[in-house]
């Protein structure tokens, strides 16, 4: 299993991303994430497309977009890659609110044993 899969599984299991989906997106797209124990690189700043693919692959709950103020029924229902990509494009990842959410999410990741730059 790759390191990103392990991170997603851990986040799902422990519920760390619940309530901070914008922070998760910002962290994956705009920050470098490594696992502290063995310095394995998780993300070096992923593209929107790569994040959309990862969310699709790991069957992330589509209801999470409600945290972004987006109704999941307004997104493409059949194509999950496009669903997540569209949600990310509407999330305003470069906003001050996203940076603040990313900062909060960094603390969650640190508590799980990850380093974030």
- Name the token pair of 47: 């593209």
pLDDT in tens, 83-106: 999 999 999 999 999 999 999 999
- Share above pLDDT 70 across residues of the chain, in percent, rounded to a whole number: 99
Containing structural domain, residue 88? 3-116
pLDDT at 18 over 90: no
Q: How many domains does the chain have?
A: 1
* Token pair belonging to 94: 């470069």
Phi and psi (nearest 5°) for 51? Answer: -65, -45
Q: 66-104 burial string, b = 16+ CB within 10 Å, else e?
A: ebbeeeeeebeeeebeebbbbbbeebebeeeebeebbee
Tokens of 13: 């299991």
Q: What is the pLDDT of residues 40-67, one digit of tens each?
A: 999 999 999 999 999 999 999 999 999 9
Model pTM score = 0.92
């Amino acid at each position: 299993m790759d390191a990103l899969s392990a991170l997603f599984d851990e986040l799902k299991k422990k519920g760390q991303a619940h309530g901070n989906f914008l922070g998760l997106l910002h962290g994956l797209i705009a920050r470098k994430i490594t696992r502290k124990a063995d310095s394995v690189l998780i993300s070096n700043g992923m593209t929107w497309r790569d994040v959309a693919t990862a969310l699709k692959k790991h069957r992330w709950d589509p209801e999470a977009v409600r945290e972004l103020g987006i109704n999941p029924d307004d997104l493409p229902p059949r194509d999950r890659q496009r669903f997540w990509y569209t949600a990310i494009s509407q999330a305003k990842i470069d906003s001050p609110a996203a940076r603040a959410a990313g900062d909060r999410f960094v603390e969650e990741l640190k508590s799980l044993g990850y380093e974030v730059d």
